[in-house]
A and B are shown apart, each in its own frame.
Chain A
């Protein structure tokens, strides 16, 4: 009994020595604000006044009645769906093309595709805003290309696609790096054995490479889903939710509810609700894709 207690104290000491500072920071900047945020969802605080009253669950009721929240959520789901598919397929294609010394200047190309990820979202949004509203329109009008002659950013049917295009451009390179790491972990002898047995390139890709890449896909799909739901900077700088809020994604809606409409409690409830939804979606995804993993 005493020995066990001593061992526990020893373990605790080691833990505190190595992870103590991090735990402290994690609790103070993540856990406490998170709990305080949940506490605020039960109040009618406007964000600045010192007095507020408890309103129990009425903020959550407002979330369900807020039609704009749900349209914005569905729009975000649509955006996430297309970005996840496009980012991952493009990222994988790039990685597959840029491994195994098939292409000249492989490292240069890898760096080139990765660079967009190093540019901050706000700057990136502004750069692309200029491209969509000036460069493409200029090209469209000069060469008489119908679908480019009008700014996509001003068109409620096309503006969401500008967000998808920019996100794909931004994240494909990042996912490519993860896929390259995954690809270089595939044992060469497996592929060689398959080649000797007469497997074609496509057969090798489908039956050996893809199954062995499932762990990489778990990570990339998780990252793209989570980033897609949480996107704010590109949304702000590229479209600012416009035209007339047709590209307002969920984070921006929550932000405006809390800080612009001065309904902090409602905004916080929407944020918490969003947290639950995204957590549920991400965990389901990880659970199901883990089942696809294979042992070599």
Chain B
């Protein structure tokens, strides 16, 4: 009996001891990051693992929002489950919806180093800065230099493509050389948010006027059929349809197929943004000879959009101020500071994840040719607004209408009627 008692007390003692050590270990701070840029999921996981390994007592875990799903849906579900990540990567238009739950970041050092205007969309009416700008992105026609130069029989100066006629000549030259001129990715997000996004961006050079254009669409005061830039944009789209590599079955094409076609030099141009680089790299046969062309919307080189590409901050981190402990919030702040100010953090963000940072103090230049091409446009001041404050379902609704127009299911007037109806119905 005594022996049993002794045995029991030893057992109890070990149990208590192990509980204590568990409690000590639990002091470790664990933070979660919601990533909504699917193309850099692996790179972010590596960055998080590296950061966890160099910091005592902090572990960072990256979870993914599925590609093609809106990050808002994922964030909402995580909040409803009481399991919000410390950092959530959101689209610019969604940030302010989280203003009850996000932490104000006004006191952070990086606020002063963020590029001009990058915090405007994420500052609440009461002046709280709610988000950290993750990446600058831009889009246009990606061109494959060897294909274009072979078609032209000489060196190619991208600045010569500043009118629709010049674009047509380029398409014709590429087709004559036996390659496809371009391929159109038929995804609704690409057509709705990016291609038709140009229709708003080319209305005016300043943000306020573009906003006013959206407001008047909501009020039903705009006749798209009479709008010159919109018609010009669709004329260009007609031209693209005519030369589309997949014109036999335009909706059966995919983003993945486009990546492969442009990278392997089957087509000369592809309408997409610098986010496509990690995938293009996998198939690249040119040694990285890619760049951007603007999407010309008229035959006058001076018109807005003919020599400029849209560039803007497309992803933001908000920091949860509700379901994470102060220690976790501090760990998240440290992580962001590490990315912006630590040379190793900068290097990993810019070079490994191919991200164009939105901070003036980061001088590392991305190695990828698409980001380098965009940077050139930015330095020369040849940019227009990347319209990022569109309504949340705009890409899906207008994207569906664009798909109809792409596959000749509706004509231009039918398309305009659908877009006008969408805006009026908001």
Contacts and interface: CB of A to CB of B under 8 A. Distances in A.
A256 interface: yes
Contact of B70 (A50, A244, A259): A259
Given A48-B101, A242-B188, A244-B401, A261 B393 contact: yes
Interface in B401-420: 401, 403-404, 407, 409
B100 interface: yes
A51 B100 contact: yes
Nearest to B404: A244
Contact of A46 (B79, B97, B249, B251): B97
B252 interface: yes
A150 B72 contact: no
Interface in A222-252: 240, 242-245
A47 B70 CA distance: 13
Interface string A141-164: 000000000110111100000000
A19 to B, nearest CB: 28
B396 interface: yes
Contact of A154 (B79, B101, B251, B392): B251
Contacts of A47: 72, 76
Contacts of B249: 150-151, 154
Interface residues of A, number: 24
Nearest to B251: A154
B174 interface: no
Contacts of A48: 72, 75-76, 79, 97-98, 101
B18 to A, nearest CB: 31
Nearest to B402: A244
B73 interface: yes
Contacts of A133: 252
A50 B98 CA distance: 9
Interface of chain B, helix or strand or loop or mixed?
helix
Contacts, number: 68
A262 interface: yes
Contacts of B76: 47-48, 259
Given A150-B252, A153-B252, A260-B73, A50 B100 contact: yes
B346 to A, nearest CB: 32
A156 B252 contact: no
Contacts of B400: 242, 244-245
A49 interface: yes
A109 B79 CA distance: 47
Contact of A156 (B97, B99, B409): B409
A259 B407 contact: no
A271 interface: no
B248 interface: yes
A259 B403 contact: no
B210 to A, nearest CB: 21
Contacts of B188: 242, 244
Nearest to A65: B425
A137 interface: yes
Interface string A116-156: 00000000000000000100010000000000001101111
28 contacts: A47-B76, A48-B97, A48-B101, A49-B97, A51-B100, A133-B252, A150-B248, A151-B249, A153-B252, A154-B249, A154-B250, A154-B251, A154-B407, A242-B400, A242-B403, A243-B251, A244-B188, A244-B403, A244-B409, A245-B400, A259-B72, A260-B70, A260-B73, A260-B393, A261-B393, A262-B72, A262-B392, A262-B393
List 5 A-B pairs, minimum CB-CB distance, nearest first: A154-B251, A151-B252, A244-B400, A154-B252, A244-B403
